[in-house]
Structure formats: structure tokens, C-alpha cells
Structure 1
Amino acid sequence: MRKLICGLVVACWATLGISFAPAAEPELDLASVHGLPPVYFCGEAVPLQEEVVARRLVTALVKNSSLNSDFYLIRKRAAGFFPIIEPILAKYKIPSDFKYLPLVESALRGRAVSPRGAAGYWQLMPATARELGLTVSSSRDERRDLHKSTEAACRYLRYLHNRLGSWTLAAAAYNTGIGNLLGNIRKQQERDYYYLKLNAETGRYLYRVLAFKELFGNYKCYAPYLPSRVLAVLSKPVQGHVQEDSEEAILSDTFLDEVTRSALARQINAPKMANRPDELPLPNAADVFRGGVKAKLAEAGDLQPGQVWVFHLTRDGLADGKPVAEGDLLYATVEDIDLKTGKLYLRAEKLYSLNDRGTYNLALAAVDAATGRIGIKLPAVDQMKSGWILTWKVL
């Protein structure tokens, strides 16, 4: 099996025009993997007693450590970014193991963009990012902000865990979407990630996360499975770290995915499932955002990004725990206009209280009252003039 994996690595490098002369390494049969240390993801045990699971993990370890110089760079990037990510995870009570997700999603590159439009450190789709409170427009994309995008990802991960009851399943749902995952669970009557038959990307997703975790913190236990040159890179002290705004390329996802896909194809013949949807669905936005207000349009600016529109609250209530009253003024900005979907995105940052005669910071977004999703249909002019009433959710 070791020969198979190494052969696949060399073959993939050759296909990409990369020359490589492997150093002589002792032969090792990976067809039967024994002696692995216990592995956990967020406190949930990985069933390494299952040989298929053990082989998949070792395959991911070999693959993720195969590019020596690049792996050292990603360790440097993590040394700079993890101290920022970890406190945010703790704030939302998300296990620290999730800090490895953006390594798999984007190699910790803020400007990473997928062919489908997912972007940033946590690879969020535009609609999903807006649902989670981020600004996504032609002039500003908060998916590229490490702090704000991590907070948004934590809100989504908390929602997924509340729905699924398992951090392992939450990680899988982050990759494939909760709708796809729940569909597979219902069809297969199986709730354990390691025994579910999922699409190829999701089927190897958690193993890639686990590989980074084990290589970063427990690589010595895998010495029999890793070449000596890789062990030397892993034991090398990290000197300095990559700054947050650095966009130095690290890992080629195309290369890494091809190696893993080829290796696993020889071991497991799992049926292909539906592809990842274009966006991570939030079936009920109220599960993520609590509270909301109704407001009536009082003054409309031009229909273009950056314009400020003024709304009057239509009744007393609470917004983000603060009392608000009928007649209070809501200052909303046109954040984006999506002509393809015919949607308008309005975001409010300030509220003027008639009672207190003061202006307060209050982040809200206009939502479709029928679905609870951020973004509303572009209005007709006569509808706007007649006193357009919108529902707003606190971010």
C-alpha cells in the first residue's frame, strides 16, 4: 500500500510537470495499519479499530505532509493565525479542533476564492456570509477579514451542532451543507460520519482536518508512516510567522485532492452522491439570529450601493436586548444589489431613539419575512412610495 500511495504521489507530480526524486525509504505495508495512537475530534473518538478508517487517516497524513517546504510555510501561517482564531472559538464555545478547518478550506489565505464563489479564510458563499452578518459587496468583503469571518463561521458551526448534536457531523455539514447531510442520514439510517457513504469531497474532508491536527501536535506517533525528510520538517522549530495580510501561496488544492482521490479510489468503492450545493443552507434564519423589528420606509435614497435610506419603527419592542419604540429612526445603507437574483441587501448600523434623543449602534439586516433569509426582492417604485414595511433581524 505504501508503494501505491508513493506511486500515486509521483504520478500526480509528473502530470503537473513537477520533477521529484524520492529518497530511499524503508518499505512499509499500509494495507493493514496497526499501532496508531487514539485520535479524537472535539472529544469524539475516531474508530481506528476499523481498518478502512485507519487507512484513510494515514493516507491523509502522508498526503498532507508530502510537500515539505510548503508544509513548513503553512506551519508558519498557523503560528500567526491560531492565536487569533482560538479565543474566538472559545468565545462561542466551539472546540479548538475547528481551528484546523480553515487550513483545509483555504490554507489560511484570506483571498482564496473557489470556482463556485466561496471566499475567504472559511470559504463562505456570498448569501451564507450575509446570513451570518458579514458585509459582502463589490467594495467590501468581510469574508477576507480573519476576525469577522471567524465569528461568522462560529455562529454557523454552533447552529449546525445544535441541529445535529455532534461536532463531527457539524464539520461534515459545513462542507456539504446540512440539507445534503440530513438527506444522507435519513436514506442510510446512519448518524456516524465514519460509516456514512458521502460524496468524495465530504468523505475525505474530516480526515484532512484530522491529518493537520495530528501532524501539528502528535507527529512523532506516526514516525513509521512518514518519510524521514517529512519528520525533519515537522520537528523544525517555526521561526517567525506569516502576517495576516500575507497572501503567499502554500498548498495546491488541485494537487492534494488528486492524490487523495486516486489513493482512496483503490480502497473504497463508495457510491457518488450529490455535489455540494452552491451555498450552505440555513433552513431557518431565526435559529441563528434572535430578535427583530418591523420598520416602515420614510425616506428612500437612490437605488445604488452606499445610499442611506431612513425607516421608522412601527411598534415598540426589543432589539439585541435594547428597548426600542415606535417612531424610532433606523438608518439603513444599500449594501448590495444583486441583479441576477433580483435581490436588494439593506443593512442598518445606527438607530435614533426619540425617547433618549440619542443615536445608538445597532446592527440589523433586512430579511425576507416569508423565509427569514437576508436579502429582499427589489421593490417597485410605487411600493416604496406607499410606505414599504420591512422585517429586520439583529446581527
Structure 2
Amino acid sequence: MNLFTSFALATGLIVFCTFPRMHPLDAPTSQSVFTNSVDVTYDPGLTRMLPPVYFCGESVPLHEEAVARQLVSALLRNTAHNQALLRIRQRSAVFFPVIEPILAYHDIPLDFKYLPLVESALTGSAVSSAGAVGYWQFMPATARELGLNIRNGVDERRNLIKSTHAACRYLRYLHNRLGSWTLAAAAYNNGIGALLGNIRRQQQRDYYFLRLNAETGKYLYRILAFKELFSNSRSYQHLIPEQMMAFLQVPVSPDDERDVDEVILPEVVVEEATRKAINTSVIAKARPNQAEELPLPNAADVFRGGIKARLVESAGVARGQVWVFHLTRSGMADGREVEEGDVLYAVVEDVDPKTDKIYLRADKIYSTSEKHTYSLTLSAVDASTGRIGIKTPDIEQIKAGWILTWKAF
């Protein structure tokens, strides 16, 4: 039995889907039992073996032992039940294509698509003991304040599209009040009144160093665990059991969810909602009359010193956001030997409306074989010209599986 197997057994693994209570917009401060503890045995070298992790472009301070321990604990709890996690991935394949364009429309980072996985396991019929309902787990008062109809047998908290728009309005409100997406996520769970009370008493505005009640203290880590498992599981092969790794690698599609014993959304409704959301995206609103362009073919092989990487996760088209790529082959990058499967972390350096280009700079690469993070400088280039920058009309094509060319300059 290796260290990580012992570690997993020591955590007392539990089912990961619970339904926390949703508070009204100005929930009163409540008494909390503060805790930062995780009942696990910790390997001091683990922080060096974890890849960089970001939430909405904000770096997670994994160099702090307590932070690394919390993330590892969340990862292990989420991998405790193979079939349950596979079912969540199948639901995600159905719902993410609907949720993502709505988040983009409201300028909410795409990392928040993982929040309803924690709230409801993406189940519209989910009801918490406190009375929170639906995919985003709204309490009745909060739902009404956000414009959802709850009367005469109608409960729009169970409507994926309407409740997602409401959740975006709420998240925007929280971010405007708190100035941080991590704090916005915490307030979503605990209520903004309770969170502001903790901030005032402790004189601390960093989620990772606030002393919060047990549920809220673990809340963001649970979101991060889903993000990492669904988008970057290969970086955790030393931590995740082989059987779970196999479940995480199983291809899923919307068709996998056809036999569920509940009606999620009729296919025609999903397609129509997705079409409308995409047609009113932020980029489309900015250039409503601009003709669409076909994505250019990738010709990375013609560039000496260039490498190719496949997009796994994008946090949104905004400066400072972090996109995650996996290398598609071994080679050399900025004078360093890299291997297929290594993880490239790219920052959106600029979005230039004058040239209609987005500029991506990779500043970190995580070696999956060495379990170590290296600094490097690469830029995404137009595969047809070798020049820095990707045309923004092509952004609709940049999604999971899209391959970009990278070079050092």
C-alpha cells in the first residue's frame, strides 16, 4: 500500500455531493465554528508535486501546506465513488454546453460552471434540508430577489437556463461587493453578511487564510477538485487510484445521459438555448455585423522549435485568465525537453479589439513524469503565419480539444 492509498483511507472518504444552504443577498452574520483542519496525514513534499492551480485566473497558494492539504483532501473525497463521479461527468457533458455560453454572456469566469456540481450534482430536483432547490440551490427569498418565479406550481429554480442566468446575476453582485471571485464563491455558500462579518473581525480578505466554518472553508476546494479532476486528472496520477483514473478517462457525451430516470431538458430546448446564448455572446455583442471566419489549419510542424498543445480548460476571454493545455507530443520548448501530456498554463495577456486578436503567453509547464513545475516563456502563434496572436473571430472554435501552436520568441 503506497503513501497515497494510506492517505485516502485515512480521510474517511465520503460521498461528495451535499446540498449546502443558500442565503439571501444580505444574510445576517451567523455564529460559526471556525476550522482549517483536515484529518489527514500530510506529506511535506506533496506541495512540490502538485501542479499549479487557478480559480478564475487567481493562483491558488499551494506552497502553503494547509492549502495543499485541503485540495488533496477534496480530490480524494471526490474520487471515493467511481460510478457517482462518472455520472457527474455524464451530466456535465449535457449541461456544460448550456451553462458556458450563459456565463460568458454575463462575463462570469467559466470556472463557475463547476459550482452547481458541488451544490446539486447538477440535479434539477435537488432539495436541501434548509429548502434550497434546483441546480444552483437557491433559497426561496434569494430566488425571488433574482427574478425567478416560485408560485402556482411553478419553480424556476428547477429550470436550468433561467436559474443559471439568476446565478450569474448573483455572482456578479457578489463580485462587485467583494472584489474577488474566490470570496464571491465563499459568499455564495455562506451568505455575504456572514462572510463580511468574518472579514471585518479577522482583518483578512484572502479566502485561503480566513477562518471560516467547516463547510465554507472547504467549499472552494470542492469546486477546484471537480475542475482539476475533469480537466487535468493526468497531473494527479500519483494521487488518484488507477481504477478512478480509468473512469476519468472514459469518453462521455450527452447521449450517455439518455437513460436517466428523470427528464433533464428536452434536446430541442438545449439546442435552442445554446444557440441563443452563443449568438448573444460578449464577442458577438461587441461586433454584431462582423462576418464569421473559418479557423485556420494548424501547421505547427513547419516551425522549428514550435510545439503543439491541446486546450483542456479556458477560464474566459479576458486579461489575466488562465487557460490549461496538454502537450500533444514530446519535443523542446524554450530550450527545455518536454513530454507529451505535460501541462501548459497560459495567461491571456491581451485582447486587442483594434486587431481582433487575443494574445496568449505560457509562463509555466508542469512535468507529469517529474511531478515538478518549470517556468518558461512561450507564445501562441497563428499556425498559418507563425505570428503571435490568435484572431478573435476564431475564439468560438477555441474549446476543449482545440490545438494551438506555441513558440519561444
Query: What band does the TM-score fall into relative to the shorter chain?
Result: 0.5 to 0.7
Match of 1:178 in 2: 192
1:362-389 CA distances to partner (integer Å, 9 max, x unpaired)? Answer: xxxxxxxxxxxxxxxxxxxxxxxxxxxx
Aligned counterpart for 1:100 among listed residues 97, 109, 114 = 114
Aligned counterpart for 2:179 among listed residues 152, 165, 168 = 165
**CA distance in 2 between partners of 1:189 and 1:203 (Å):** 17
State yes or no: 1:127 paired with 2:141: yes
Alignment of 1:308-323 (within 5 A): none
Alignment of 1:20-31 (within 5 A): 30-31=42-43
What is the percent sequence identity of the aligned residues?
A: 61
**Post-superposition shift, 1:8?**
4.1
Match of 1:118 in 2: 132
State yes or no: 1:213 paired with 2:216: no
When residues 79 and 101 of structure 1 are mapped into structure 2, their CA distance, relative to the original with a 3 A threshold, is same
Match of 2:64 in 1: 50
**Post-superposition shift, 1:244?**
11
State yes or no: 1:5 paired with 2:8: yes
Aligned counterpart for 1:137 among listed residues 145, 151, 156 = 151
Unaligned 5+ segments in structure 2 are: 16-39, 265-409
**Post-superposition shift, 1:231?**
0.7
1:43-102 CA distances to partner (integer Å, 9 max, x unpaired)? Answer: 000000001100110110111111001111110000000000000000100000000000
- 8 Å Cα contact 2:119-2:135 kept in structure 1: yes
State the AA in 1 paired with 2:12.
V
**CA distance in 1 between partners of 2:259 and 2:107 (Å):** 24
- 8 Å Cα contact 1:92-1:155 kept in structure 2: yes
Match of 1:242 in 2: 257
Aligned counterpart for 2:102 among listed residues 65, 88, 94 = 88
When residues 244 and 77 of structure 1 are mapped into structure 2, their CA distance, relative to the original with a 3 A threshold, is farther
**Post-superposition shift, 1:241?**
3.5
**Post-superposition shift, 1:199?**
0.4
State the superposition RMSD in angstroms. Answer: 2.2
Match of 2:55 in 1: 41
Q: If the length of structure 1 is used for normalisation, what is the TM-score?
A: 0.57
**CA distance in 1 between partners of 2:122 and 2:262 (Å):** 9
Tell me the SS of whatever aligns to 2:230.
Answer: helix
Unaligned 5+ segments in structure 1 are: 14-27, 250-395
Q: How many residues align?
A: 234
**CA distance in 1 between partners of 2:258 and 2:196 (Å):** 38
**Higher radius of gyration, 1 or 2:** 1
Match of 1:224 in 2: 238
Aligned counterpart for 1:156 among listed residues 155, 170, 179 = 170
- 8 Å Cα contact 1:108-1:121 kept in structure 2: yes
**CA distance in 1 between partners of 2:261 and 2:106 (Å):** 27
State the AA in 1 paired with 2:112.
F
State the AA in 2 paired with 1:212.
F
Aligned counterpart for 1:78 among listed residues 81, 92, 96 = 92
